[in-house]
Amino acid sequence: MSAPRRIAFVGECMIELFHRPGDEAGTLRRTVGGDTLNAAVYCRRALGETRDVEVHYVTRIGDDPFGAEIPAFIADEGVETGYVRVAPGETTGLYAISRDAAGERSFAYWRSTAAARRLFADGQDADIEHAIEGFDALCFSGISLAILTPEGRARLLDLASRMKAAGRIVAFDGNYRPRLWTSKDEAGAVIAEAHASASLSLPGLDDEQALFADADARSATERLLAMGASAAIVKSGGDPAIVGDASGLREIAGVAAPRIVDTTSAGDSFNGAALAVLLTGGTLDEAARAGHRMASLVIGEYGAIVPRGATVWPDGPRATP
């Protein structure tokens, strides 16, 4: 029996606070979230019963009471926690979600001293870096890069470039959050470098337009390929995704959502399902279809990581729904 394929999702996981309509006014529910963690969870769920792929999460968390809850939460989702480092004396990030009547969300964050910011900093975590380089796939985001120190950021980008050169899947979602960067110019330069280091760029159109003023999803896809990404899937909410690679550009239609109550993790869940397809031998077009399907389910529930029963695919990500 061959060894399972392995993918590492790198970034920050935080405590998530949100109000669910119908709850008493002022009541906040508590769970765990973060863009790359969300993607890791939905990747594992999309894989269904297969154990041919191991999904790993890579981060640092504090040893505060909130942080102490996180490894068990991740493990309960079937995601491996061997590279979740608990940092003594450090804290875990926290964020709260607000939503408008259409389900669009806004965030408030408390993360400036979070332990995740020191991942790959001060010469530490070299063992994790070495281990991940032997994986089959890596996924990170603009948020992953934004929170890191300059050393940590450079090491993650170098790791991505080495893995891409070795023929691994390197997936990157720009996820531009202006408050995390010192300037738009800094963000644009770093995110452009990350796209160039990727074998698959997975951005949302709105984030790319905010940084690079793309006219539409097609022009964004063409720019990403010109930057050096081997392939790209540009997401535009429920509109068709644009898939691009050496064979050209094509549209992959969206999937109508039964209902829309919370778009918090739409793009992250798309990424997770798409990567599940690629890790099991599927095509880019199949990956985009699975991404749309997963996102259409996730936005019908509240929270970044929705109830498991809504999104587990027993037959795997390439099965016909």
Q: What is the pLDDT along the chain (321 residues), one digit of tens a residue?
A: 578 999 999 999 988 887 777 777 777 788 888 999 999 999 999 999 988 999 999 999 999 988 888 999 999 999 999 999 999 999 998 888 776 766 566 777 888 889 999 999 999 999 999 999 999 999 999 999 999 999 999 999 999 999 999 999 999 999 999 999 999 999 999 999 999 999 999 999 999 999 999 999 999 999 999 999 999 999 999 899 999 999 999 999 999 998 998 888 999 999 999 999 999 999 999 999 999 999 999 999 988 899 998 998 988 898 877
Other C-beta atoms lying within 10 Å of the C-beta of residue 89: 8
What is the spatial distance between Cα 304 and Cα 33, in angstroms, rounded to a whole number?
Answer: 6
pTM across the whole model: 0.93
**Would you name the residues annotated as active-site residues?**
268
Paired sense of beta strands 29-33 and 14-18, if any: antiparallel
What is the rounded (10 degree) CA torsion for 76, 77, 81, 85? -90
Any idea which fold 5-167+257-310 has? UDP-N-acetylmuramoyl-L-alanine:D-glutamate ligase (3.40.1190)
The dihedral built from the CA positions of residue 275, 281, 284 and 290, taken in this order, carries a sign that is negative
CB 304 within 8 A of CB 266: no
What is the spatial distance between Cα 243 and Cα 277, in angstroms, rounded to a whole number?
Answer: 15
> Which tokens is 37 given?
């963690």
Query: How far is residue 221 from each of residues 202, 208, 226, 320, measured CA to CA in Å?
Result: 10, 10, 9, 27
Sequence spans of domains, the chain: 5-167+257-310
Helices (H), 122-166: 126-133, 142-147, 150-165
